[in-house]
Amino acid sequence: MKRFAYCKVVLATSLVWVFLDMFLLLYFSECNKCEEKKERGLPAGDGADTVQRPHEGPGEMGKPVVLPKEDQEKMKEMFKINQFNLMASEMIALNRSLPDVRLEGCKTKVYLDNLPTTSVVIVFHNEAWTTLLRTVHSVINRSPRHLLQEIILVDDASERDFLKRPLESYVKKLKVPVHVIRMEQRSGLIRARLKGAAASKGQVITFLDAHCECTVGWLEPLLARIRHDRRTVVCPIIDVISDDTFEYMAGSDMTYGGFNWKLNFRWYPVPQREMDRRRGDRTLPVRTPTMAGGLFSIDRDYFQEIGTYDAGMDIWGGENLEISFRIWQCGGTLEIVTCSHVGHVFRKATPYTFPGGTGQIINKNNRRLAEVWMDEFKNFFYIISPGVTKVDYGDIATRIGLRHKLQCKPFSWYLENVYPDSQIPRHYYSLGEIRNVETNQCLDNMARKENEKVGIFNCHGMGGNQVFSYTASKEIRTDDLCLDVSKLNGPVIMLKCHHLRGNQLWEYDQVISSPVHALCKFYFSNQLELQALVNPIMKQNMQNSLNFFCRTAEHSWNFVPFYNTLKVALARTLA
Ligand SMILES: [Mn+2]
């Protein structure tokens, strides 16, 4: 009996101890995590973060600055200097607080301790003091100190005095090394970045624009991807800083980079296949076909290996698509890291002057891009941009040599594997005009925008607005717009191509009395004129009479499009 009582006591005390242990274990392990999270969440800087700093004053927490009526005149005058609201910018603290705009799932991610260090390279030309230094302060305050090697400011021959001595003495006092490098003459973004990159010592180079603001936790997820695979090139989500009020607005993680036939960079919705690949987890990086160009991180040695930038390109423009195509075609990966947010002041007009004129420079750069990387798909660019083929693009032998040396894949591979929803179709039947052979009138997009009617105009045979492609997925598209018949009794309009067929599906059938298109009285042609073509499929399939008919989601409608009986032919116009 006595022994039993003894046992009970021992059992009870040991149980107490077990519970106590478990409690302590849980308590401390939880707390460890908290400490760690706190550490990583906070910037290593002087406390200009979202937690510790008072959130009063103009623009704090990314709030818009609204100027009183009496300042409007002066504000408008100052706006012209940089093409953003300089007056508002000057009212906002250089280390203002910003909201944490990350997805919830991003805030708790933990990164390896041995991330590579980075040099941040910022090119500027006549930048405003406040926007430039707000960029610098946001980098310093929101980057873990041990990951930030240095900041390199490359001055592309600015004329403003405050960007000379005063800038140098200001940045000397900062607690991160900030070097100011000067270009001897106006050289443009591409060459200035190359100079900054050559001077950098970090394992990674992070390029930023000169009017950015980095938010909490922006750097670690970028570096973690490069640590994971050094051939991954990463971009943050680019948030919008209003050029009017400097309000900070979170960018979307549901768009990624593409381009149109004119080789303009454009944002498009992240397609379903990319959501599926990530199993719906929006905190995972998005594979993006192209980058916007202003903000990205790249392993320093890898940047050299894949051929930095095309030094034959001038000033600015096209270099972002060039490096995007090159990364993908030559074995790398390009991602948007959705847990990293950096704001950028988007402007409606450029304050810069370009030696030689913007248009000519961009045409030259884009020709180099098309000639080196795009193979036969360059025809889409040439046919929609009449005149561009006359622009001299210099010598591309070294870039072609680079492509061979790196054994880069063809552009068709890129379209097939990286960008199947591209505006340039991987497979297509025709690229040319759609002509009414009786009236010599052509379908013409009339430079109209999305949601407007497609027009008809005298054929000019110059391409441009009269270029349409009938693609293998049976769309009729002009650039990134598709002919769409979504309205009952309505006109045929141009809508963003959705790749879902439906109202954008155009069938052609050599048998005119096909039962399907009897429902749909829309047809383009009963006579085809087809000349030498880019694509052999075209020749084979389209030498005979060609009728388009629409097949839409609703088979039973009885609509009469506005050019119901238009007779057209497809002809190639590219010289
Ligand atoms: Mn910019």
Reported as a single tens digit per residue, the pLDDT across 24-35 is 444 444 333 333
Model confidence pLDDT, tens digit, residues 85-118: 999 999 999 999 999 999 999 999 999 989 999 9
Residues 517, 507 contacting (CB under 8 angstroms): yes
Range with top average pLDDT, 18-32, 82-96, 373-387: 82-96
pLDDT exceeds 80 at position 11: no
pLDDT for 4 equals 61
User: What whole-number distance in Å separates Cα of residue 182 and Cα of residue 156?
Assistant: 6
Compute the distance from residue 279 Cα to the ligand 1 centre, in Å.
33
Residues with Cβ–ion distance below 5 A, ligand 1: 209
Compute the distance from residue 154 Cα to the ligand 1 centre, in Å.
15
Mean pLDDT value across residues 135-149: 98
Compute the distance from residue 264 Cα to the ligand 1 centre, in Å.
16
Q: What is the CA radius of gyration of the chain?
A: 29
pLDDT for 460 equals 82
Mean pLDDT value across residues 10-15: 60
> Helix, strand, or coil here: 119?
strand
pLDDT for 529 equals 30
Compute the distance from residue 161 Cα to the ligand 1 centre, in Å.
21
Whether the model pTM is above 0.85: no
* Position with higher pLDDT, 298 vs 455: 298
Q: Which residues pair with 278 in a beta bridge?
A: none
Compute the distance from residue 155 Cα to the ligand 1 centre, in Å.
15
How do 481-484 and 265-269 pair as beta strands?
A: unpaired
Residues 203, 330 contacting (CB under 8 angstroms): no
Compute the distance from residue 135 Cα to the ligand 1 centre, in Å.
12
User: What whole-number distance in Å separates Cα of residue 388 and Cα of residue 390?
Assistant: 5
User: What whole-number distance in Å separates Cα of residue 158 and Cα of residue 163?
Assistant: 7
pLDDT for 559 equals 21
61 C-beta neighbours (distance < 10 Å), count: 15
DSSP 8-state class, residue 556: T
Compute the distance from residue 73 Cα to the ligand 1 centre, in Å.
25
Compute the distance from residue 190 Cα to the ligand 1 centre, in Å.
14
Q: 73-87, 301-315, 480-494: which range is least confident on average? A: 480-494
Compute the distance from residue 453 Cα to the ligand 1 centre, in Å.
34
pLDDT for 129 equals 98
* Position with higher pLDDT, 535 vs 492: 492
pLDDT exceeds 50 at position 37: no
Reduced 3-state DSSP string for 14-29: HHHHHHHHHHHHHHHH
pLDDT exceeds 50 at position 534: no
Compute the distance from residue 208 Cα to the ligand 1 centre, in Å.
9
Compute the distance from residue 390 Cα to the ligand 1 centre, in Å.
30
From residue 73, alpha-carbon distances to 67, 91, 347 in Å are 11, 16, 20
Compute the distance from residue 369 Cα to the ligand 1 centre, in Å.
21
76 pLDDT tier (thresholds 50, 70, 90)? very high
Compute the distance from residue 179 Cα to the ligand 1 centre, in Å.
21
Compute the distance from residue 295 Cα to the ligand 1 centre, in Å.
9
Compute the distance from residue 233 Cα to the ligand 1 centre, in Å.
20
Torsion of CA 16, 22, 23, 25, to 10 degrees: 140
pLDDT for 484 equals 80
290 C-beta neighbours (distance < 10 Å), count: 27
Residue in this structure with the two tokens 């088979």, named with its chain if needed: 555
Mean pLDDT value across residues 202-209: 98
Category of 15 on φ-ψ map: left (φ > 0), alpha (ψ -120 to 50) or beta: alpha
Model confidence pLDDT, tens digit, residues 210-253: 999 999 999 999 999 999 999 999 999 999 999 999 999 999 99
Residues 522, 561 contacting (CB under 8 angstroms): yes
Compute the distance from residue 209 Cα to the ligand 1 centre, in Å.
5
Share of the chain above pLDDT 90, in %: 62
Residues 503, 553 contacting (CB under 8 angstroms): yes
The tokens describing 541, both together, are 């399939």
pLDDT for 479 equals 94
User: What whole-number distance in Å separates Cα of residue 468 and Cα of residue 384?
Assistant: 9
Q: Could you tell me which residues come within 8 angstroms of residue 227 by beta carbon, excluding any fewer than 6 positions away?
A: 112, 114, 115, 116
Compute the distance from residue 210 Cα to the ligand 1 centre, in Å.
7
> Rounded mean pLDDT of the chain?
81
Report which of 81, 178, 90, 162 is spatially closest to residue 130, judged by C-alpha positions: 90
User: What whole-number distance in Å separates Cα of residue 191 and Cα of residue 309?
Assistant: 8
Compute the distance from residue 249 Cα to the ligand 1 centre, in Å.
16
pLDDT exceeds 70 at position 539: no
354 C-beta neighbours (distance < 10 Å), count: 17
Q: Write the DSSP string, 438-450.
A: TTTEEEE-TT--T
Compute the distance from residue 393 Cα to the ligand 1 centre, in Å.
25
44 pLDDT tier (thresholds 50, 70, 90)? very low
